């Protein structure tokens, strides 16, 4: 592979690239979110620390969700706590559609200053990662403590503990008057024989993985968010000495809030008549609040 520029048609914003390095038995994803990120965040008047947190979470959801082969399958990432400033963060990814929401205590957040740590935000929280596979109807979920400096640290722990797959994740976030940009890189080691055979917890120190961890770990946050660098160029800088790097065409990323009046009608129709009557307001309407897009839907079942 060779480096390219944006003007030459390289990948810039709101696409995720999949790549493999066959000689190292490694696969990866790289993404940079821009307008889509602003679109999701704009639904709420989030203060700066929460915007930064949600930006990281949306990049992670995109990196992890794009590992799914079936576009109808879904990745859901939920961070939750009972004693933290942030009591709920949820993001999901399905077929290139991403959405997210954060619920937090504004008064307690203001006491933490401009750059609170992950522990200050969540306290003794946990991260749940769920894969819903459309083709088989199966659901897989792993839960890990929210430990480390970033959400990426917790995601790495999930793959090691729940999937036994050595994983490296690097993130970058930049927010200014022009909007928010966030990028991420994920690399995993999948040596020959991984599927259906001995799991990777016995191969964490594999020399191939050690090499990939060092090479991928050299990426700088500034590179991940620099609009002057297309994603192909970032990969070339990291892995140009490898014999072969295979890069697949980018998957476009869009805001994916799936709330519609028809959808909520179908959900409400599952409730009994007496339950629906209790939900109605004085005007005979059922009000449904979508936290993802900050909209209230007035549902008239008649």
Question: pLDDT tens digit string along 188-217?
Answer: 998 765 444 444 444 566 888 999 999 999
According to the model, what pLDDT value does residue 197 have?
45
According to the model, what pLDDT value does residue 281 have?
81
> In percent, how much of the chain has pLDDT > 90?
58
User: Average pLDDT, stretch 109-116?
Assistant: 91
Least reliable range by pLDDT among 41-50, 83-92, 188-197: 188-197
Judged against a pLDDT cut of 90, whether residue 252 lies above it is answered with: yes
Contact 259, 295 (CB under 8 A): yes
Asked which of 222, 238, 255 is the last residue of a domain, the reply is 255
Same domain? For 173 and 288 the reply is no
Residue 269 counted as domain residue: yes
According to the model, what pLDDT value does residue 70 have?
86
DSSP lists the bridge partners of residue 31 as: 16, 184
For the chain, what is the domain count?
A: 2
Residue 1 counted as domain residue: no
According to the model, what pLDDT value does residue 199 have?
45
Residue 51 counted as domain residue: yes
According to the model, what pLDDT value does residue 205 have?
67
Same domain? For 200 and 268 the reply is no
User: Average pLDDT, stretch 83-101?
Assistant: 93
Same domain? For 151 and 272 the reply is no
User: Average pLDDT, stretch 175-183?
Assistant: 88
Residue 2 counted as domain residue: no
pLDDT mean across residues, the chain: 86
User: Average pLDDT, stretch 216-244?
Assistant: 94
Provide the phi-psi class of 139: left if phi over 0, else alpha when psi is between -120 and 50, else beta: beta
C-alpha–C-alpha distance, residues 293 and 39, integer Å: 9
Residue 140 counted as domain residue: yes
C-alpha–C-alpha distance, residues 85 and 121, integer Å: 5
Same domain? For 162 and 32 the reply is yes
Cα-only R_g, the chain: 21
Same domain? For 241 and 121 the reply is yes
Same domain? For 32 and 131 the reply is yes
Same domain? For 222 and 158 the reply is yes
| Short-list 60, 95, 33, CA closest to 225 | 33
- Domain with 271 in it: 261-299
> In percent, how much of the chain has pLDDT > 70?
88
User: Average pLDDT, stretch 158-181?
Assistant: 89
Kindly tell me the burial class for residue 281, based on how many C-beta atoms sit within 10 Å of its own C-beta (0-12, 13-18, 19 or more): exposed
Same domain? For 236 and 178 the reply is yes
User: Average pLDDT, stretch 290-296?
Assistant: 69
Same domain? For 149 and 281 the reply is no
- The distance of Cα 141 from the centroid of its chain, to the nearest Å, equals 15
C-alpha–C-alpha distance, residues 160 and 203, integer Å: 11
According to the model, what pLDDT value does residue 195 have?
46
Residue 4 counted as domain residue: no
Residue 52 counted as domain residue: yes
Contact 96, 89 (CB under 8 A): no
Residue 7 counted as domain residue: no
Q: Which residues contact 37 (CB under 8 A, 6 or more apart)?
A: 55, 58, 179, 180, 181, 182
Same domain? For 166 and 203 the reply is yes
Same domain? For 207 and 273 the reply is no
Contact 119, 53 (CB under 8 A): no
Judged against a pLDDT cut of 50, whether residue 270 lies above it is answered with: yes
Tens digit of pLDDT for each residue in 13-37?
Answer: 999 999 999 999 999 999 999 999 9
Same domain? For 279 and 134 the reply is no
According to the model, what pLDDT value does residue 120 have?
93
**CATH code of residue 221:** 3.55.30.10
């Amino acid at each position: 592979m060779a480096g390219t520029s944006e003007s030459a048609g390289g990948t810039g914003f709101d696409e995720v690239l999949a790549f493999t390095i066959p000689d190292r038995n490694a696969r990866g994803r790289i993404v940079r979110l821009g307008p889509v990120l602003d679109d999701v965040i704009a639904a709420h008047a989030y203060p700066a620390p929460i915007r930064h947190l949600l930006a990281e979470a949306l990049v992670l959801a995109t990196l992890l969700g794009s590992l799914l082969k079936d576009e109808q399958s879904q990745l859901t990432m939920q961070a939750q706590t009972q004693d933290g400033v942030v009591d709920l963060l949820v993001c999901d990814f399905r077929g290139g559609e991403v959405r997210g929401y954060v619920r937090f205590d504004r008064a307690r957040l203001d006491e933490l200053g401009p750059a609170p740590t992950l522990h200050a935000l969540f306290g003794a929280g946990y991260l749940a990662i769920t894969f819903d596979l459309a083709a088989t109807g199966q659901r897989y979920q792993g839960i890990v403590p929210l430990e480390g400096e970033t959400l990426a640290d917790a995601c790495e722990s999930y793959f090691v503990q729940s999937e036994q797959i050595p994983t490296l994740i690097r993130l970058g976030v930049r927010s200014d008057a022009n909007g928010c940009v966030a990028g991420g890189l994920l690399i995993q080691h999948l040596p020959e024989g991984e599927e259906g055979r001995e799991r990777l917890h016995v191969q964490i120190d594999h020399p191939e993985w050690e090499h990939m961890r060092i090479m991928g770990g050299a990426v700088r946050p500034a590179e991940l968010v620099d609009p002057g660098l297309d994603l192909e160029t970032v990969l070339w800088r990291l892995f140009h000495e490898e014999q072969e790097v295979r890069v697949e065409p980018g998957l476009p990323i869009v805001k994916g809030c799936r709330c519609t009046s028809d959808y909520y009608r179908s959900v409400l129709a599952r409730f009994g008549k007496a339950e629906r009557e209790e939900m109605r307001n004085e005007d005979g309407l059922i009000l449904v609040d979508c936290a993802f897009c900050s909209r209230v839907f007035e549902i008239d079942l008649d």
